[in-house]
């Protein structure tokens, strides 16, 4: 059973009218660059701003600043029609193609990729904001693909690809019906969750997901001593190594990491050879992970607005997102 599902989303709040602007590389929209559209939104924005991005390849380094909440960036189905791409490696906080710092952000049907390749940190997407949502997006790189850094996040029907620690960070995130594809040819880990204290309410939860890959991969390894990852009701192909989890060369983390599975299936789901410091959840224990309220998302995940307020190019000069009288 879906935790949120699209039908439930339409019953949530934030269904008000949104400002509607377009980005089109051909010049037929308000802007030709995505970053220009974001820059046009007023600081301390308080209105929903819906940015429709026309199909094309956008070679940009995108940042959604902390003072510009309530922005939605939307492509059209399928996600491959709008590609945001960059080729850059370096530190994980500097290399991302796309960085979200503003709260109440949403992305729909976008491909976000870093084409640098293997052998170095090359983040496609960094999310360092609270209440961020991604619907039907493709997030592609090799190492540290998705830096799920901090805040509460929800990923629905997304395709996430990489080879080493390709979902990493210390957010409180729910991944529902997502496809995780490992490019690892050895012991690359899918997750590297960074929870560092038993008091932190963070962790990655995967429900009704799918794991595939080229050769072999671990489910996760502890970036933080109190790393927390749960896989529930997830299909695991034979790409998943029998031990499932690794302590990253530090046996002391075996006592504090929280790695759990519940009723996963497929050739890679067998638990008889799993690391003996991981375990399966009971039907009672898993209940809290299957609730809509696991990270509070029931109150802030919003659907696309049914009504729009369209603006002219002349109205976009520093006025997008200002409260109208």
Active-site residues, by number, are 144, 165
Q: Token pair of 109, please?
A: 């049907």
Count of CA atoms in the C-beta half-sphere (13 A) of 174: 25
Say whether 113 sits in a helix, a strand or coil.
strand
Evaluate the CA torsion angle 268, 269, 271, 277 in order and state its sign.
positive
**Cβ-contact 53, 285 below 8 angstroms:** no
> Which are the contacts of 65, defined by CB distance < 8 A and separation ≥ 6?
38, 101, 102
> Which are the contacts of 124, defined by CB distance < 8 A and separation ≥ 6?
96, 97, 98, 112, 113, 114, 139, 140, 141, 145, 146
Q: Phi and psi at residue 297, in whole multiples of 5°?
A: -60, -25
């Amino acid at each position: 059973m879906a935790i949120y599902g699209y039908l439930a989303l339409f019953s949530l709040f934030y269904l008000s009218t949104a400002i509607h602007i377009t980005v089109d590389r051909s010049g037929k929209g308000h802007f030709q660059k995505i970053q220009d559209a974001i820059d046009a939104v007023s600081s301390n924005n308080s209105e929903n701003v819906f940015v429709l991005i026309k199909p094309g390849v956008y070679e940009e380094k995108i940042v959604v600043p902390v003072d510009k909440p309530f922005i939605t960036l939307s492509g059209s189905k399928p996600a491959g029609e709008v590609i945001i791409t960059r080729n850059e490696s370096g530190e994980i906080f500097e290399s991302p193609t796309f960085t979200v710092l503003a709260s109440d952000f949403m992305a729909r049907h976008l491909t976000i990729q870093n084409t640098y390749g293997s052998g170095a940190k090359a983040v496609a997407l960094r999310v360092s904001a609270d209440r961020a949502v991604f619907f039907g997006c493709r997030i592609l790189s090799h190492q540290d693909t998705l830096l799920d850094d901090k805040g509460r996040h929800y990923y629905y029907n997304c395709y996430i690809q990489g080879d080493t620690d390709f979902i990493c960070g210390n957010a409180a995130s729910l991944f529902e019906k997502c496809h995780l594809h490992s490019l690892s040819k050895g012991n690359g880990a899918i997750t590297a969750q960074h929870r560092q204290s038993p008091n932190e309410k963070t962790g990655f939860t995967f429900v009704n997901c799918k794991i595939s890959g080229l050769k072999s991969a671990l489910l996760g390894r502890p970036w933080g001593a109190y790393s927390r990852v749960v896989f529930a009701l997830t299909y695991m192909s034979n790409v998943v190594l029998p031990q499932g989890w690794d302590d990253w060369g530090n046996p002391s983390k075996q006592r504090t990491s929280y790695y759990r599975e519940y009723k996963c299936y497929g050739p890679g789901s067998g638990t008889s050879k799993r690391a003996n410091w991981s375990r399966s959840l009971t039907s009672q224990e898993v209940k809290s992970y299957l609730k809509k309220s696991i990270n509070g998302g029931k109150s802030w995940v919003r659907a696309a607005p049914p009504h729009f307020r369209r603006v002219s190019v002349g109205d976009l000069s520093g006025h997008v997102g200002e409260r109208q009288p």
